[in-house]
């Protein structure tokens, strides 16, 4: 090796890198490290640089000159719509190489392209050397979360469609005359027609209009672009044959089943004489009969009896499914569910007030646990209680009895509307949980003074209280009192922190994830216990320490975290991690509920797609980060 | 200089015993198998920097060389030297860097000619090397880009390669090396899988042109 020669070449690397983000902000030592280790390679136009089949990438690539296109591959159907073009200075595959897994994207040189290549091990080392580069990579991975949401959208579109248009006949679903060409037509002409008609699938039919084949968008890449297929040849040489067809009398359900069975996205609809009548795509099946938020809400508010509320409860679930189908994030979704469940609960309370006279009583109906945090998923049982004020002139026992009678009816009605009775009896009809303000204070105070394990467990449920109905002031005062007490009690906070650190994120040293060793659930992770709860518990400690009144985990993180000087970026990354885990839980519960199995929180990482697995790993890393902060702050 | 010079101490280029040993070492390395694939071949791209000499020919001032190994150019695998006061050391260094790998130049009549004259003059020795000339090879690999023989600038332009610093022997070699990567990509595509195939193509090409 000749040092002056190497230096000269390294300098050319550095000159280039300094002109492109994120390298322009990279620490000088790290930049030098990078420049020394880059080699130059050439990829002619239309050649593959990196494909999933290559396995874990051996290099990190930075485009030096030319253009690279990243295309998603795999079973998920957003693929053909999402491509990304990378130009000089842009690097890939950040996620795959960080995770040491095969890339989910195929990377293709669309022009003659020169790339700088950094060996994978050096890429990881570079992240250690360069905090700015690490932040860049982490943010990039976080941005994948929105991609994952798009994938979800499609997945749920299919499910929602399956349910709602199941019985619609295909002849009703066919909306326009079929676009087709004869088998002898030149492929170029057929493709031009596809573009012109804006269809993702070209049917091929003979003079008798009987379909003989199809060509879809995804075929074009595989069979035409990549193989350099001669466009002058007839489409018959490249189409899929025979095509999948169904009669017009078949239902949308049949079409969905056919698509799922054969892994196709288009079905040709034919009439009794086998003549082509139309093309049904996966997207057509996503013909949602949308139930609007407003409709449900007014339905709830005007409900006259429990039957009407039961219908509303089913509508809420359906809406949740639809919202998932529209790709809404976990944060908004849980807020919607929470808002509607609140409305439903309020209406149940109002209906019961017609039968129970509580006039003049100062009380509030409280929600605890996930409901208290606005973080209900779809299979949460009820956690509620009552706080009331005992007037000086009144007798306690008769008043409490009246409240308990009332609570009992409400609890049963809630159960009838799909909120199972709490097995732990955390319900307002439990005399222990229908208390005056002073009694609640005494209860809370004893847990804080003597934080034994049971007290800490109670704190994690009851300190997340929120008023659903009644006198807000009562709860407000109770919270102020509570925060004043906890904020000045480091011993209690330390005990809460230790409790929050009981469970570690299931990140493996060798494998990506540590799964449950329970033989009944091999290979699964309980995303409530080992996922969401890690964030929830840490955020609660933060809130109790810094006096944050909000009960939602994300609000607690954002407000509490910023009060102790955690950077907003870091807090956002943690919130993203929490949301992603919540989203996976919701999705899992939906899918399982639909299949008749009880909705639980056990997700098998092996069943997730690559992108989700990678993000889940990142989400767990965020949990570890916030736990680390607790560890440091409380010397645990 | 003639072949006798090697046997007449003092009358030749006057290599010191150390220089001679180093030179001998460079010549004794195992010769690479030219039938191996491009990926398994280490190519060395060499470029010269010259200045006017007394006669009509140019005088070699500096050499720059960049290796291509496993299809990659790596900054660690590069060499440059000015002939200056000790031309023999510079040339021995170059030969040791080349290590009998196939040598790639653009415009062999000029670059190879200049180098061979310098080897003769300063080392009294003509090492046996395989030479590939991109000026000859590129038109046969990319006839659709430039049909006939063309200047280096034209080829660099055709493949959008920056000429970072004209007349710097090393940076020119780096540009030529990028050009060779381009050549290898097409060669592979055309079934010219090894350096041997490229050498054969080159000689038939020269023969066709009567060169």
**Complete DSSP assignment for A302-343:** T--SHHHHHHHHHHHHHHHHHHHHTT--HHHHHHHHHHHHHH
**Per-residue pLDDT tens over the stretch A541-556:** 999 999 898 899 999 9
Q: How far, in Å, CA of A21 to CA of A135, rounded?
A: 12
Q: Is the pLDDT of residue A33 over 90?
A: yes
Q: Any idea which architecture B37-209 has in CATH?
A: 2-Layer Sandwich (3.30)
Region A271-280 average pLDDT = 88
Cβ of B80 within 8 Å of Cβ of A66? The answer is no
Q: How far, in Å, CA of B198 to CA of B178, rounded?
A: 17
Asked if residue A394 is part of any domain, the answer here is no
Asked if residue A340 is part of any domain, the answer here is no
Q: Nearest-CA neighbor of A381 among A423, A335, A331, A343?
A: A423
Same domain, A116 and A178: no
Question: Any chain B CB within 8 A of the CB of A10?
Answer: yes
pLDDT in the model for residue A567: 86
Asked if residue A463 is part of any domain, the answer here is no
- Residue B79: list chain A partners with CB under 8 A: 2, 5
Asked if residue A452 is part of any domain, the answer here is no
Q: Domain of A28: which CATH number?
A: 2.60.120.10
Question: Any chain A CB within 8 A of the CB of B83?
Answer: no
Residue of A1, A6, A9 for testing the chain B interface, max B β-carbons within 10 Å = A9
**B 98-157 → A contacts, CB under 8 A:** none
Same domain, A629 and A497: yes
pLDDT in the model for residue B1: 41
**Per-residue pLDDT tens over the stretch A140-173:** 766 655 555 555 555 555 554 444 444 567 887 7
CB A275 within 8 A of CB A197: no
Asked if residue A524 is part of any domain, the answer here is yes
pLDDT in the model for residue A198: 83
Q: Domain of A552: which CATH number?
A: 1.20.120
**Per-residue pLDDT tens over the stretch B161-173:** 987 777 789 999 9
Domain count along chain A: 3
Same domain, A69 and A213: no
Region A40-47 average pLDDT = 92
Same domain, A191 and A266: yes
Asked if residue A144 is part of any domain, the answer here is no
> Which region, left, alpha or beta, applies to residue A380 given φ > 0 means left and ψ of -120 to 50 means alpha?
beta
Report ipTM for this prediction: 0.87
Asked if residue A332 is part of any domain, the answer here is no
**Residue A71 forms beta bridges with which residues?**
A83, A106
Q: Is the pLDDT of residue A244 over 60?
A: yes
Q: Is the pLDDT of residue A78 over 60?
A: no
Structural domain span for residue A224: 171-283
Whose tokens are 């645990």? That residue is A636
CB burial class (10 A; 0-12, 13-18, 19+) of residue A453?
exposed
Same domain, A12 and A120: yes
**Domain-ending residue, one of A129, A163, A196:** A129
Residue of B78, B163, B187 for testing the chain A interface, max A β-carbons within 10 Å = B78
pLDDT in the model for residue A77: 34
Chain A / chain B CB contacts < 8 angstroms: 76
Q: Is the pLDDT of residue A506 over 80?
A: yes
Region B75-96 average pLDDT = 93
Q: Is the pLDDT of residue A56 over 70?
A: yes
Where do the structural domains in chain B lie, given as residue ranges? 37-209
**Per-residue pLDDT tens over the stretch A583-609:** 888 878 775 554 445 567 888 888 887
CB burial class (10 A; 0-12, 13-18, 19+) of residue A267?
buried
pLDDT in the model for residue A534: 95
**Complete DSSP assignment for B33-96:** -TTS-STT--EEEEEEEEEE-SSSSEEEEEEEEEEEETTEEEEEEEEEEE-TT-HHHHHHHHHH
**Residue A156 forms beta bridges with which residues?**
none
Region A312-330 average pLDDT = 73
pLDDT in the model for residue A104: 74
**Per-residue pLDDT tens over the stretch A306-317:** 998 998 888 888
Region B43-66 average pLDDT = 87
Mean pLDDT of chain A: 84
Same domain, A121 and A44: yes
Q: Domain of A255: which CATH number?
A: 3.10.580.10
Interhelix angle B169-189/B134-141, rounded to 10 degrees, is 30
Same domain, A181 and A108: no
Asked if residue A69 is part of any domain, the answer here is yes
Angstroms from A516 CA to nearest CA on chain B: 44
| Residue in chain A lying closest to B189 (CA) | A44
Region A87-109 average pLDDT = 84
Cβ of A40 within 8 Å of Cβ of B178? The answer is yes
Q: How far, in Å, CA of A580 to CA of A564, rounded?
A: 25
pLDDT in the model for residue A152: 52
pLDDT class of A426 with cuts at 50, 70, 90: very high
Q: Is the pLDDT of residue A395 over 80?
A: yes
Percent of chain A surpassing pLDDT 70: 87
Angstroms from A122 CA to nearest CA on chain B: 14
């Amino acid at each position: 090796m000749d040092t002056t020669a190497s230096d000269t070449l390294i300098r050319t690397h550095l000159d280039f890198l300094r002109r492109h983000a994120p390298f322009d902000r990279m620490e000088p030592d790290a930049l030098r490290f990078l420049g020394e280790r880059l080699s130059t390679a050439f990829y002619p136009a239309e050649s593959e640089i990196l494909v999933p089949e290559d396995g874990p990438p051996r290099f990190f690539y930075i485009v030096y000159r030319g253009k690279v296109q990243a295309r998603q591959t795999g079973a998920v159907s957003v693929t053909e719509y999402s491509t990304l073009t990378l130009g000089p200075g842009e690097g890939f595959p950040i996620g795959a190489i960080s995770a040491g897994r095969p890339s989910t994207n195929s990377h293709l040189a669309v022009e003659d392209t020169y790339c700088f290549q950094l060996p994978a091990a050096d890429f990881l080392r570079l992240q250690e050397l360069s905090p700015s580069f690490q932040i860049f990579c982490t943010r990039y991975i976080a941005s994948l979360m929105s991609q994952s949401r798009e994938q979800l959208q499609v997945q749920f579109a299919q499910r929602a469609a399956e349910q709602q248009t199941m019985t619609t006949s295909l002849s009703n679903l066919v909306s326009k005359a079929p676009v087709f060409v004869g088998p002898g037509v030149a492929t170029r002409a057929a493709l031009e027609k596809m573009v012109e008609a804006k269809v993702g699938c070209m049917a091929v039919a003979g003079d008798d209009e009987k379909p003989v084949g199809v060509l879809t968008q995804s075929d074009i890449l595989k069979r035409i672009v990549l193989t350099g297929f001669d466009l002058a040849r007839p489409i018959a040489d490249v189409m899929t044959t025979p095509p999948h067809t169904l009669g017009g009398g078949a239902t949308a359900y049949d079409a969905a089943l056919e698509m799922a069975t054969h892994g196709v996205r288009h079905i040709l609809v034919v009439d009794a004489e086998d003549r082509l009548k139309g093309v049904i795509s996966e997207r057509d099946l996503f013909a949602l009969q949308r139930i609007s938020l407003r409709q449900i809400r007014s339905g709830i508010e005007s409900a006259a009896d429990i039957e009407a509320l039961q219908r509303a409860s089913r509508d809420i679930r359906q809406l949740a499914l639809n919202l998932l189908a529209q790709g809404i994030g976990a944060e908004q979704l849980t807020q919607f569910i929470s808002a509607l469940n609140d409305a439903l609960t309020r209406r149940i309370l109002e209906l019961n007030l017609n039968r129970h006279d509580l006039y003049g009583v100062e009380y509030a109906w409280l929600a605890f646990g996930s409901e208290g945090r606005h973080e209900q998923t779809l299979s949460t049982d009820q956690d509620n209680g009552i706080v009331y004020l005992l007037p000086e002139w009144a007798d306690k026992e008769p008043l409490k009895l009246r409240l308990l009678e009332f609570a009992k009816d409400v609890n049963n009605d809630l159960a009838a509307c799909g909120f199972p009775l709490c097995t732990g009896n955390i319900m307002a009809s439990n005399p222990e949980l229908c208390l005056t303000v002073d009694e609640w204070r005494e209860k809370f105070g004893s847990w804080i003074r003597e934080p034994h394990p049971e007290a800490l467990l109670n704190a994690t449920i009851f300190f997340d209280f929120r008023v659903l109905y009644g006198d807000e002031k009562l709860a407000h005062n109770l919270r102020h009192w509570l925060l004043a007490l906890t904020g000045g009690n480091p011993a209690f906070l330390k005990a809460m922190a230790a409790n929050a650190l009981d469970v570690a994120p299931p990140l493996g040293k060798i494998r990506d994830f540590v799964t449950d060793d329970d033989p009944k659930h091999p290979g699964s992770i309980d995303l409530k216990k080992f996922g969401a709860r890690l964030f929830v518990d840490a955020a609660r400690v933060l809130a109790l320490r810094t006096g944050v009144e909000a009960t939602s985990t994300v609000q607690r993180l954002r407000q509490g975290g910023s009060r102790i000087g955690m950077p907003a970026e870091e807090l956002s990354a943690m919130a993203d991690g929490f949301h992603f885990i919540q989203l996976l839980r919701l999705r899992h519960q939906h899918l399982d509920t639909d299949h008749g199995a009880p909705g639980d929180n056990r997700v098998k990482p092996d069943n997730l797609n690559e992108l989700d697995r990678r993000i889940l790993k990142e989400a767990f890393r965020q949990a570890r980060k916030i736990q680390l902060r607790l560890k440091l702050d409380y010397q645990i | 200089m003639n072949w006798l010079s090697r046997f007449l101490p003092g009358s030749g280029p006057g290599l010191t015993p150390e220089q001679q040993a180093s030179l001998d070492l460079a010549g004794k390395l195992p010769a690479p198998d030219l039938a191996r694939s491009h990926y398994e071949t280490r190519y060395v791209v060499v470029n010269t920097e010259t200045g006017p000499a007394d006669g009509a020919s140019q005088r070699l001032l500096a050499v720059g060389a960049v290796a291509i190994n496993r299809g990659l150019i790596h900054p660690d695998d590069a060499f440059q030297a000015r002939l200056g006061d000790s031309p023999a050391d510079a040339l021995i260094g170059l030969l040791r860097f080349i290590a009998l790998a196939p040598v790639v130049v653009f415009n062999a009549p000029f670059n190879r000619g200049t180098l061979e004259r310098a080897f003769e003059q300063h080392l009294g020795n003509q090492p046996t090397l395989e030479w590939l000339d991109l000026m000859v090879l590129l038109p046969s690999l990319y006839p659709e880009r430039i049909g006939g023989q063309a200047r280096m600038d034209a080829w660099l332009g055709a493949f959008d390669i920056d000429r970072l610093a004209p007349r710097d022997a090393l940076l020119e070699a780096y540009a030529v090396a990028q050009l060779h990567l381009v050549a290898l990509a097409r060669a592979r595509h055309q079934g010219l899988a090894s350096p041997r195939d490229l050498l054969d193509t080159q000689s038939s090409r020269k023969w066709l042109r009567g060169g």
